[in-house]
Structure 1
Amino acid sequence: MSESEYTKIYYGNFILVTRVKDALEKEDIIPIIKDEGESQRLAGYASLNQGFQEVFVHNDELEKANYIVEKVKAEMEASA
């Protein structure tokens, strides 16, 4: 089995994922957003995780991306 070049670093609803995505892009990290619920809906199946998305980044950017995600999560908790 081959290893993926990408690692999941975050899972959440659309709004939270958008904040993480924007923060990553400001640091020139281009994430991949995977929406299983939307994929299942488009294929005609019911989805248990509707509205939740996963954020993946290239393994070369993993350390920097994890730092950014933790920073964004801290900011969201502080404003709650």
Structure 2
Amino acid sequence: MDNNFVHLCAANVVEVQRVKVLLEENGIFPIIKDEGESARLAGFGSASLMQQLWVAKSYFEKAKSLI
């Protein structure tokens, strides 16, 4: 991941979507990293339902306080 982004949290798909909406309502637009979906699309398959939420470094403290 680009050095301008930092890992905020990892959770199941539903929880990540809830946090994503909360952040977007507060002007923070996160990136969702889903390694399970990437593996599936590449033909490897994965049973992982976990996703990672990344935000720009400049918004990290604000995002952390919101969740």
Instruction: Confirm or deny a common fold (TM above 0.5).
Output: yes
Structure 1 segments (4+ residues) deviating >6 Å: none
What SS does the aligned partner of 1:66 have?
helix
What SS does the aligned partner of 2:28 have?
coil
Number of the residue aligned with 2:59: 61
Number of the residue aligned with 1:40: 39
Which structure has more helix as a fraction of its residues? 1
Write the distance in 2 (CA, Å) between the matches of 1:45 and 1:63: 36
Q: Give the aligned residue type for 2:66.
A: I
1:17 CA displacement: 0.3
Structure showing greater relative contact order (alpha-carbon pairs closer than 8 Å, 6 or more residues apart) = 2
Structure 2: state its 5+ residue gaps.
none
Structure 1: state its 5+ residue gaps.
70-80
Number of the residue aligned with 1:11: 10
Which structure is larger by alpha-carbon Rg, 1 or 2?
A: 1
Write the distance in 2 (CA, Å) between the matches of 1:40 and 1:68: 31
Q: Give the aligned residue type for 1:21.
A: K
TM-score after normalising by structure 2: 0.91
Write the distance in 1 (CA, Å) between the matches of 2:20 and 2:43: 28
How many equivalent pairs are there?
A: 66
